[in-house]
Chains A and B, each alone.
Chain A
Amino acid sequence: MSPRITIATAARVMLQLRRDPRTIAMLLLVPCLLEVLLYYVLDGQPLVFQRIGAPLLGIFPFISMFLVTAITMLRERTTGTLERLMSMPLSKLDLLAGYGIAFGVVAAVQAVLTAGVAFGLLDLQVAGSEWAVAGLAIANAILGMALGLFVSAFAQTEFQAVQFMPAIVIPQLLLCGLLVSRDDMAGFLQVVAAVLPLTYAYDGLERLTTIGFDSTALRDLIVVFGATLLALALGATTLRRRTP
């Protein structure tokens, strides 16, 4: 692994994003607007907004980074630039870390902006630190990126890549406990939820909302990191130097 190549890759990915100002604007503004939308949807139930406002804030980056990475990496695979890079002195880790840094920076800006809107304008209150919420949002973004990278190997077209969103993200959203408490789900679904990474992301955010950053929240954060590393390792196995 070479820091020079990693940094160059991160700079290149960010440069590519910069060429697409509309995507940047949507990445940064849509979560803020959704948070505002949620606030007014729950106009008559302010307690519900207080309960799910922070978890939702922390999960947005997961969704957007999943999509952006899946498509970017798919393009890298289908336009032959991945094959070119694989025939050059670049290690897979350089590529993965480069992507991680670039999207991590975008996620950080996204998380800070959304948190600013939620805590500053919408009067969202959490027991823990607002910065911890933003920090967990960034961790979730990296998790989304790692999963997007992995699934890009199983899509041949951008249409297929987009379909991984309902296939992989929505079930996790339904099962994580955000909409319905996991205790109310069928028993086998609780078992499934227990092995999905977004469950722990949600639990951590919920913990920050109600109690603050304690050992349980730390455990959740570690699980999110572990799932990210696992997804990255799986993603690395899909970056092949030799192909059929």
Chain B
Amino acid sequence: MAADPAIAVRDLLVRRGGVDVLHRISLEVRAGTVTGLLGPSGCGKSTLMRAIVGVQIVASGTVTVLGEPAGSRSLRSRVGYVTQAPSVYGDLSVRENLRYFAAVLGTAPERVDAVIATVGMDAFAGRVVGSLSGGQRARVSLATALLNEPPLLVLDEPTVGLDPLLRRDLWETFAGLAEAGTTLLVSSHVMDEADRCSHLLLMRDGHILAAQTPDELRGETGEDDLGEAFVRTIERWEMEAAR
């Protein structure tokens, strides 16, 4: 029998401003995987991630994270969350930001320099975040979530706008973390990142269209290119929906 999933979502309905954003979706994320949440912007990826982290008001359904209801007090130090917009203090330096969040998380201060190195920001540790580029800020934001080595990382588009080499390094970091037992849920709207994931959740218009490994998706659609495979999946899903 497989281990308990890191994330289990059942019939999740989220309404925003009277409109259904997530339509009673269900999904599971297996522990120790790098699961990619892929879909175009505006399809509900961020909302789903917010529900998993427990900061989203949900209309109905259940979200279970590491065996507990999403947003439980005990999960606050076990789930690392990085929002799409970098959420760090622009008027503090990189190191000051991380020192503060390390204090809030109760993490040893030595971790600060370690995570700065992980995201490749060593040369900028003393720089004020407000003077950094968007991609650099995103890396500081990501570093914050790595501080206390939580068993689950929820990362909303962490690689947008990054240098291709750095992007590759980060995906390797993610794979390394997963090997060590961390579960990662990583959203992206670019399909070329799908191959970096061990599992995929394809999302569109607030629905989960497919939950497969990249190879399963290729096999099922007969497409080698994951972007094309996604297109096939959407077409098939729309035909079924029309029926």
Contacts and interface: CB of A to CB of B under 8 A. Distances in A.
A84 B92 contact: no
B16 interface: yes
B89 A16 contact: yes
Contact of B57 (A12, A19, A244): A244
A156 interface: no
Given A8-B100, A15-B92, A79-B87, A87 B128 contact: no
Given A5-B104, A79-B90, A242 B83 contact: no
A215 interface: no
B55 A87 contact: yes
Given A242-B55, A243-B56, A244-B57, A89 B104 contact: yes
A19 B92 contact: yes
B230 interface: no
B37 interface: no
B91 interface: yes
B101 to A, nearest CB: 7
Nearest to A7: B103
B54 interface: yes
Interface in B11-65: 16-17, 53-57
Contact of A243 (B57, B83, B85): B57
Interface stretch (B73-81, B116-124, B177-185): B73-81
A67 B200 CA distance: 47
Contact of B88 (A9, A81, A241): A81
Interface string A28-60: 000000000000000000000000000000000
B85 A88 contact: no
Interface of B: 16-17, 53-57, 71, 73, 76-77, 79, 81, 83, 85-92, 96, 100-101, 103-106, 128, 144
Interface of A: 4-5, 8-9, 11-12, 15-16, 19-20, 79-81, 83-90, 241-244
